[in-house]
Structures are given as C-alpha cells and as structure tokens.
Amino acid sequence: MFSSFVGFDLPPLLLAAAVLFVTLLLRSWGQAPANLPPFPGRSVPVLGHLLLLGAEARERLLEIRKKTGNIFSMYFGGTLVIVLSGFEVLKEAMVKQGDVFVDRPAEGLTGILRVKTGIIGTSGSTWKENRGATFQILRSFGLGKDVMSQRIVEEIKFYMGYLEGLAGKAANVQDITTCAASNVTCRIVLGKRFNYDDSDFVTLLRYLHEYMTLVGGGNFHTWFPQVRYLPGDFFRTKRLLQLSAEITKRMKNFIEHMREQEKNGLAASNLISSYIEKMEEKQRSGEQTELTMHHLERVVFDLFVGGSETTATTLLWFYLYMIHFPDIQEKVYEEIVREIGTTRSPTGQDKLGLSYVKAVLLETQRLASISPFGIPHRCNRETTIAGYTIPKDVEILLHLDSVMLDDQIWDNAKMFRPERFLKDGKLSCPEFFVAFGLGKRSCPGEALAKIELFLFAVSVVQKFKIVPADPDNIPPRDYERGATCCPLPFSIRFVARSAA
C-alpha cells in the first residue's frame, strides 16, 4: 500500500527500513527538559548515544562516569535515560527517595516484550500485592529457616553424585549446575524436582539462558522494538519473542498440571497451589485483588529466572575464580576442614564459623557483578537528585558497576581479594556491597541465593579440588553479554580430595 502511495515499488526490506527510520527520527525530535544531568556528548539522530557506547557498553559507562560524574543523561534511540552512578547517588534515589523510583518503565522491562505482569515487571498495587503474597508463601515454606537449608542440601546430594560420576574428567558443568540451582526453586514452586537427564527440563533451562542473553539492555531491540517488523532476524528479535512465548507456555503447563494433580489428590505442597488458594479466598470474599492466573504465570517465570540463572551463574564464577586462584581455594578448604571436617555435610548454621568462605563468596559476587545495570526503573514524579531535575516518567538505569568496581571504595577493585570483607578475622560486609541492588526493589531472592551459594560452594570444595582442564590453558575471566553476565563456556575438573 505504501509503495503504491508514493508511486513506485520498493523492495520489502528497504520499505521496512525506511518506515523504521522515519518512526525513530520522529521519536528523537523534541526539546530536552531543562536542568537535566549532563550528556556525555552529542547524540546522533535516531540512534542517540548508542554509537558512543558501542559493543562494550559496560566498560564505556565506567569511562563516561569519570568524565561526567555520578549522574548523567543519555538518549538510547529516542528514549531519554538517566544513569545513576556511585553509592551516594544510588542510595539517595533508591533508599531515601525509594517511593519515587520504585516503579518500572511505562513500556515494560524492554520495549519489545512489554512485560507488565508478575513481580519483576510490575509497579504500584500489582507489584505490592504479588510480591507480598509470594514472600508470605516463601516464608511459610521455610525461607530463612533451617528447613530451607535442608531442601537445598537434599538437592546438593544429587549434584555431588553427578560430580563424583565425572571421575575427575574435564567437563563443562553449566547445564548441570543450572539444573541443580533450578531444582531448589522447583521444589518450592512445583513441589518436585527434575532429573538432570530430563530433556524437557534441560531444554527449558537452555531457553531461559538464551532468553536472558537476548533480553539484556545492550540489545538493539530494547530501544528499537520496531525491528521486529524487519524481514529476517538480524537482531534476533523474533527469536526473543519466540523464546518468551515458549517459556510462558511451559509455565502455563506447570500450573495446569499442578491443578490437575490437586483434583486427583496427588499434589505436594507448593507455591502455585498456595498462590491460587490465596487468590480464590479473596475472590470468594469479594475483596478486590491483583492476584490472578495471568500474574501467577509470570510469578513462576520470574522465580525460575531468579532461582536458576543468577544463582548458577554466580556459582560458575566461583569455580572460575577458584582455578585462577588455587591458593585461595586451599584456604577455603582449610577453613572447612577446621570448622566442620570432611565427613559431615554443611548446614545453614555453619555460616557462623566459615567467615573466610563467606568472604570469598562476597568477593565473587562483587567482582563478577553479574547484573551490572540491575533492572530499569522509572521516576514516577518529578524530583531532584544531586541538584539535577529528574523528569516524571523518565527511565532510570542503576549503574551498579560504578559501586562494585570502584577503586575509591574497594582499593584495587579489579583484584580478587576476599580479605577486604574480613575485619579481625570476622566477616564485615559494608553497605556499599550492592550485588542484590538496594532499596524497595532489591532482589527478592537474596536470602535464598545466599544460603544456596554457601551450601553448594562448601559442599563442592569439601569433597573436590577444582582444577583447570588444561593447566597450561586456564579459561579467561570473560563473560557473555546479556541481562546477566555469565562466564564464557569453560571446562574444569573436579578431583576427589582423597585422590588429589
């Protein structure tokens, strides 16, 4: 139709590109509000400052901060984004003005998906009620108590059995580690676990990993959702939409299967059933509620992402650092032997005596900084930060790297040095450790992630020496760009301590 209107025929790809360009050009016009935080340089029409960031956005933002200060503005396409850096600025926004910056962007977490359900992607009363109900259920299942530690230990037994079966041979354990971490979530959400050779389960977790890679803020479709209409899939936008639909479908299947089991009296205690029970209670009483089946699908989605991808990624970084710093690994082992021995499995109560182990895990989280920008926020009313105007509804990017990798805070921040978290031999975690974010939207799975990482790490080092597959070719400490920064695939060996 458009080709006929202009009087000549255009190839479909050229036509789509022309429409996209005009749309984005119109979006990029307009007068910027007064007294904004400074810009790092001139923006390019349509693209904004994306060319300034390039492929190494994480590194470039750290450089920009040095020039502009702790708060600056950028245009990502036609979208104005204000980047908050430095601990004091982040604390001012997310803690002192937490109610102002608590919401998510109006367009959803990413322009292409428009996620506005569940916990992570919602705002206002929807977020509060779904988050509150989920936390209440998790606490009833033992979150923060020994019963949760026992569930994790039960899964660790399967994981350790798998590592023993490797018999010291080199292996890439990314899939298995993700399966183990996810099974902890499955026990809570579904009331069951999956075998590591369950092809459907492994496929789902691979889908989740690919989804997290493509949904990251550095991808082109985050700021230009119109690319979905272009022929082909150069930006892998259509693949992201396909993954989102497939994962959501599987979440629905989990819920439907759980309801069928309940009818037959076979369902174990699980979060899905508890959520539905709360929802139906409110509906029967006539109480207005934001608990719905539509939100439940995304709550399960959110818990799978948070309970598998992020925990497994951190554990993989721990393995990688242990082969890069074998002397630190031996100190970890020595403390484990001294405090709990080599025969008894660790428990949650052992955290009190394993200060060096916890320091190593904190340093792993700090240096890996697997979520360098957190999740986008929105300023729900005009306010002021550091003397600059923050307009209503502007998108906010939390630059967590600016805290976690700040030399002024950590002293030689690029060095892996667990001792920075110890004071007189006791654990000391400062407030500017922001691996889980800060404020009202900090990671809801923080307590579970901490105990899970601790128990997995202690169990593995207690029984195995972690060594590189090839001592002359140690895997680099590089990562795959995405919503989380996962180490590039690598192989290692788990050598039984009795044979080391």
- Asked which of 130-134, 269-273, 359-363 is least confident by mean pLDDT, the reply is 269-273
- CA dist., res. 137 & res. 321, Å (int): 35
Residues near 181 by Cβ (< 8 Å), separated by ≥ 6?
Answer: 307, 308, 311, 312, 315, 452, 456
Question: Ranked by mean pLDDT, which of 10-19, 262-271, 327-336 comes out on top?
Answer: 327-336
What pLDDT sits at residue 402? Answer: 96
Q: What is the pLDDT of residue 6?
A: 34
Binding residues for heme: 443
In a domain, 55, yes or no: no
Distance, in Å, from the CA atom of 333 to the CA atom of 233, rounded to the nearest integer, reads: 48
Q: Which residues of 259-272 are buried (b: 16+ CB within 10 A; e: fewer)?
A: eebeeeeebeebbb
pLDDT at 2 over 50: no
Q: Is 263 among the domain residues?
A: yes
- With a cut of 80, say whether residue 37 has pLDDT above it: yes
Check residue 35 and give its pLDDT. Answer: 87
* pLDDT for residue 77 is more than 90: no
Helix (H) or strand (E) holding 82: strand 79-84
Report yes or no on 73 lying in a domain.
no
Q: What is the mean pLDDT of residues 288-316?
A: 91
Q: Does the residue 97 lie in any domain?
A: no
pLDDT for res 234 = 87
Residue 324 pLDDT > 90: yes
Residue 43's pLDDT band, with cuts at 50, 70 and 90, is confident
Q: Residue 467: phi, psi to the nearest 5? A: -130, 155
pTM of the model: 0.90
Taking every pair of C-alpha atoms in the chain, what is the biggest distance, in angstroms? Answer: 83
Residue 48 lies in a domain: no
* pLDDT of 93 over the 90 cut: yes
Average pLDDT (300-310) is 86
- For the segment 246-263, the average pLDDT, to the nearest whole number, is 87
Tell me the residue range of the domain where 202 lies.
106-499
The structural domain count of the chain equals 1
**pLDDT over 60 at 24, yes or no:** no
The better pLDDT of the pair 482, 89 is held by: 89
Residue 499's pLDDT band, with cuts at 50, 70 and 90, is low
Provide DSSP, 109-148. Answer: SSTTT---STTTT--HHHHHHHHHHHHHHHHHTTTTSHHH
Best CA proximity match to 432, nearest among 413, 404, 397: 404
Residue 109: the pLDDT is 62
Rounded to an integer, what distance in angstroms lies between the CA atom of residue 201 and that of residue 196? Answer: 8
Q: What is the pLDDT of residue 34?
A: 67
Asked whether residue 60 is assigned to any structural domain, the reply reads: no
Q: What is the mean pLDDT of the chain?
A: 88
How large is the average pLDDT for residues 201-207?
Answer: 92
Average pLDDT over residues 110-128: 85
* Residue 21 banded pLDDT, cuts 50, 70, 90: low
The answer to the question of residue 93 being in a domain is no
DSSP code, position 433? -
Evaluate if residue 9 carries a pLDDT over 80.
no
Between 221 and 158, the higher pLDDT residue: 158
Indicate whether 78 pLDDT > 50.
Answer: yes
Q: Report the CATH number that the domain containing residue 217 is assigned in CATH.
A: 1.10.630.10
pLDDT category, 148, cuts 50, 70, 90?
Answer: confident
Tens of pLDDT, residue by residue over 419-469, are: 999 998 899 999 999 999 999 998 888 888 999 999 999 999 999 999 999
CB 403 within 8 A of CB 336: no
- Band of residue 16 on the pLDDT scale cut at 50, 70, 90: low
How large a percentage of the chain has pLDDT more than 70? 90
Task: Look at residue 306 and tell me if it is in a domain.
Answer: yes
**pLDDT (average), residues 269-278:** 91
- 376-414 pLDDT, tens digit per residue, is 999 999 999 999 999 999 999 999 999 999 999 999 999
Residue 31 confidence (pLDDT): 47
pLDDT higher than threshold 90 for residue 366:
yes
Q: How confident is the model at residue 207 (pLDDT cuts 50, 70, 90)?
A: very high
Give the pLDDT of residue 112: 73
- Locate 307 and state its tokens: 């309970």
In the structure, what pLDDT confidence band is assigned to residue 217 with cuts at 50, 70 and 90? low
Per the annotation, binding residues are: 443
Is residue 190 packed enough to be buried (19+ CB in 10 Å), middle (13-18) or exposed (0-12)?
A: buried
pLDDT-derived band at 74, boundaries 50, 70, 90: very high
